[in-house]
Amino acid sequence: MMRDPRTAVVVALLIFLALLPVYIAMGGNNFVLILFTRILILALAATSLNLILGYGGMVSFGHAVYLGIGGYVVGILAKEGVNAGIVQWPLALLVSALFSLVIGALSLRTRGVYFIMITLAFSQMLYYVAVSLDRYGADDGLTIYRRSQFGLLNLSNKILFYYVCLALLLGVIFLVARIVNSRFGMVIRGATSNERRMRAIGFPVFRYRLVCFVIAGTLCGLAGVLLANHTDFISPAMMHWTRSGDLIVMVVLGGMGSAFGPLIGAVVLLVLEEALSGITEYWQIILGPLLLLIVLFARGGIVGMLRPRHA
């Protein structure tokens, strides 16, 4: 199996991620831990997007809205004095699911560019709702003074929180991998491959797509919960459309329709962003063409590049 460079890269990356806190504990730069916690969280969001984008062919340009929804549920509850994680987290997932159900039910009736535009429109709509929430910081955002409380599990411990994020990310990657190889997953992938044929062989495609959309939105809501806890802060910027764009870039860069692609894409994008912005203020001038080259010349993203040639 290790002959496959993809497996080697994934294994190396997982070992690196698992051991990173050890490096921190030995006196490494704390900033690296914070950066990688953020990477894990956004990788989780990108993995959820991959389910609908990579496998389901649904190009949602508003996926970050669920980061915002998950985050705002945590932030609003914290502001109102409800800090119990057992309340915050399930509620955040439930609200994300409900929003994705409504957004999906309306936008999945469209195709192609219209779908992209309508998902974008919904996310912008909620963005401005967040901007108008005066009680919860409006434009400036809202500081969260206590992270979600889970009894003995203290999420304020940075290393523990990192491992919580890592465990949830791996759990979600595994879950998505199971889903796409299940009966449900075959329906989703079949509909991407040939929707007309799917109807002809007896599948009501819409309802499967909608459920898929809701699963992805809910999982992204989880990423929002983590992000709010990570930054101790929520603001409308969490769900700005550029964030949705970042998530798409992660998925496409890493490899659409591959289990670990979004994680690899998130690591590469955010580490590059960090490294280049240290060199020059105009780092986007370097990052932009670099992404363009990968997208143009490596079909299937980085994971596609690593695919053995003879296979």
Partner 1 sequence: MPEPLLQIEGLTKRFGGIVASDDVTLSIPQGELHAIIGPNGAGKTTLIGQLTGELSSQSGRIRLAGEDITALPAWQRSLRGLARSFQITSLFLDFTALDNVALAAQAHVGHSFHFWRDVRKEIELREPARAALERVGLGARADALVANMSHGEHRQLEIAMALATKPRMLLLDEPMAGMGVEECGRMVALLRELKQQLTILLIEHDMDAVFALADRISVLVYGRIIASGEPVAIRANADVRRAYLGEQQAVTLNG
**Interface ranges with partner 1 (CB under 8 A):** 178-179, 181-187, 189-190, 193-194, 196-205, 208, 211
E strands within 109-232?
A: 142-143
- Cα dihedral: 22, 18, 37, 256 (round 10): 160
**Beta carbon of residue 303, minimum distance to partner 1 (angstroms, whole number):** 16
Distance, in Å, from the CA atom of 101 to the CA atom of 95, rounded to the nearest integer, reads 10
Residue closer to partner 1 (CB basis): 192 or 244 = 192
Cβ 199 to partner 1 shortest distance, Å: 4
Distance, C-alpha 158 to centroid of its chain: 20
Q: Which is nearer to partner 1, 185 or 236 (CB)?
A: 185
Q: Smallest distance, Å, CB 299 to partner 1? A: 13
Q: Which is nearer to partner 1, 158 or 189 (CB)?
A: 189
Nearest approach in angstroms of CB 179 to partner 1 is 5
CB atoms within 10 A of CB 148: 24
Q: Of 104, 111, 122, 72, whose CA–CA distance to 215 is shortest?
A: 104
CB of 159 to partner 1, least distance (A): 32
Name which of 163 and 184 has its Cβ closer to partner 1. Answer: 184
Least distance between partner 1 and beta carbon 202 (Å): 3
Angle between helices 30-50 and 5-25 (to 10 degrees): 140
- The nearer residue to partner 1, 29 or 194, going by C-beta atoms, is 194
Cα distances from 118 to residues 112, 140, 274, in angstroms, run: 10, 26, 32
If the CB atoms of residues 55 and 161 are measured against partner 1, the closer one turns out to be: 55
234: helix, coil or strand? Answer: strand
